[in-house]
Amino acid sequence: MNPTDPKHPWARLTAAARRAPHTGDTAAPYGFATRVAALAFTQERVASLFERFSLRALGVACLLALVSAAANYSAVTSVLAEDNGVATDDPVAELIELAI
């Protein structure tokens, strides 16, 4: 016997359970709808403000990054050029070269 059989205990239990009266009021409790509606609009406003400020902040950050890169371009390139020179004067590198 399987649970789909009407004689199965499960089938008889569910048939009886369906006859159980529905308990509890189905009307919204006092103030529930007002609270939920207010909360929904508040959250939406906070989310949209956050979204707007985040996008603006991202734009400003990108702009600042570009400006600082442009302003320091010559300094960065000179440091890179110096780095190449330093590599040849590296005492450790010289020692290794001597050992070989």
Partner 1 sequence: MPDELPFDVPAALERVRNRDQAAAKELVDHLYPLVIRIVRSHLPRRVAEEDLAQEIFMKMFTRIDQYQGAVPFPHWVSRIAVTTCIDHLRAQKRRPEFRWADLSEGEADVLDAVMTNEQDVAPDDAVESHELVHKLLDQLKPDDRMVIQLLDLEQKTIAEISALTGWGQSLVKVRAFRARRKLQKLFTELKRKERS
Nearer to partner 1, 28 or 79 (CB): 28
| H helix count then E strand count, the chain | 4, 0
Nearer to partner 1, 34 or 78 (CB): 34
* Long-range contacts (CB closer than 8 Å, 24 or more residues apart) made by 32-35: none
**Tell me, what amino acid is at 49?**
L
Q: Could you tell me the two tokens for 8? A: 């199965």
**Tell me, what amino acid is at 27?**
A
Residue given tokens 């991202």 in the structure block: 58
16 belongs to the binding site for partner 1 (CB under 8 A): yes
2 belongs to the binding site for partner 1 (CB under 8 A): yes
Binding mask 30-69 for partner 1 (x = CB under 8 A): --xxxxxxxxxx-xx-------------------------
Q: Which residues bind partner 1 (CB under 8 A)?
A: 2-4, 7-22, 24, 26-29, 32-41, 43-44
